[in-house]
Amino acid sequence: MIAYLLRRVGYALPTMLGVAFLCFMLVHLAPGDPLVSILPPDASADLQKQLMRLYGFDRPLPVQFGHWVWRALQGDLGTSIATARPVVHEVFNAVGNTFILATLATLIGFTVGSLFGFVGGYFRNSWMDRAASVVSVIGVSLPHYWIGMVLVIIFSVQLMWLPPSGAGPSGSGQWQWDVAHVKYLLLPAFTMSFIPMGIVARTVRALVGDILAQEFVVGLRARGLGEFGVFRHVVKNCAPTALAVMGLQLGYLLGGSILIETVFSWPGTGFLLNQAIFQRDLPLLQGVILILALFFVGLNLAVDVLQMLLDPRIERT
């Protein structure tokens, strides 16, 4: 187990370095002046040079990349051009809000999707299977932002049960675990859960159908094992693959929530990334992308280890 863990960590380290390099280069290759948001229209050439020197944009790109990586290893991602606040504080406040939203959405999607998948797998070609398949296809096909707007119209405008946007009654981005704040979490979480629900449902349905057709299940039933016992064996064999799918979906939701957070004005990384793009805030943009990418790599590493714990055969592959 230790050797497998060290091998996976060895694979993750160069991946993280490559992600940092791509993040840095892609942002710098984008057109536009990074200082346009803070320079006045009649700014002199001397002022432009001073600001370029202050933010390090006057250095060659390899030198900028080396300094950026070195500072990032020390926990310094620079200073936001638009707000003049440390990027680390901006990013980690937003990451906490996004992690809460993405985790709840993944749990909802995984629970409901697994239920639909098991129903469809156990009752192939029945009306329950067809209903579960229709729901999963709808969840994968419909755009997130459209579902969000429909839910806002129904539950906020017409029924007035839930608030339409924001993260709390005070308008602050600081999350608190109370009823008033949880109400602001429900609509974006349910909206984000549709795609993972559809993907998990289709994956679990295929896994359950394949496992039920295998010879060991026929043998278990021939030995007199009840359906609950068979179900436990099916769950145990489905768990590694389903866990991998859930981990990937959580990673996708952490990095791909920009539209949902913009629709619901949720102060997370997607909302922050949207602001950084429109303000051409390079330090903030680089910091958000880097942290999200590292989260995704770390999440994949954690899923690999959990898969090995659930299925020791993985260690030998």
Position 171 confidence tier, pLDDT thresholds 50, 70, 90: low
The predicted pLDDT at position 175 comes to 65
| Amino acid 194: pLDDT | 86
Contacting residues for 278 by C-beta, under 8 A, at least 6 apart = none
d(CA 8, CA 314): 12
Question: What is the share, in percent, of the chain residues with pLDDT greater than 90?
Answer: 0
- For the residues 268-282, what does the mean pLDDT come to? 80
40 phi/psi in degrees, rounded to 5: -70, 160
If you average pLDDT over residues 208-228, what whole number do you get? Answer: 78
- Most distant CA atoms of the chain, gap in Å: 86
The total of other beta-carbon atoms located within 10 Å of residue 220's CB is 17
3-state class of 86 per DSSP? strand
Percent of the chain with pLDDT over 70: 88
* Res 316 pLDDT > 70: no
pLDDT tens digits for range 35-58: 665 666 666 777 777 777 776 777
Give Cα separations from 252 to 51, 102, 106, 270 (angstroms): 36, 9, 10, 12
Question: For the chain, what are the domain ranges?
Answer: 2-73, 94-316
CA angle at 156 for the pair 152 and 157, rounded to the nearest 5°? 95
To which residue do tokens 């791909």 refer?
A: 256
CATH tag, 94-316: 1.10.3720.10
pLDDT on residue 34: 62
pLDDT one-digit tens code per residue, 67-78: 888 888 887 887
Instruction: Render pLDDT for 102-124 as a digit per residue (tens, 0 to 9).
Output: 888 888 888 888 888 888 888 88
Of all helices (H) and strands (E), which one includes residue 1? none
Which among 69, 55, 8 is positioned nearest to 300, based on CA atoms?
A: 8
| 317, pLDDT greater than 60 | no
Decide which of 4 and 211 is more confident. 211
Higher pLDDT, 28 or 135: 135
Q: For 63, how many CA atoms within 13 A lie in the half-sphere containing its CB?
A: 6
Closest CA to 115 of 4, 242, 240: 242
Helix/strand/coil (H/E/C) assignment for every residue in 5-69: HHHHHHHHHHHHHHHHHHHHHHHHHCCCCCCCCCCCCCCCHHHHHHHHHHHCCCCCHHHHHHHHH
Confidence class for position 138, pLDDT limits 50, 70, 90: confident
Which two tokens mark 202?
């289709």
Which residue type, as a one-letter code, is found at position 19? V
Residues 6+ apart with CB under 8 A from 229: 220
pLDDT at 315 over 60: no
Judged by DSSP in three states, 79 sits in: strand
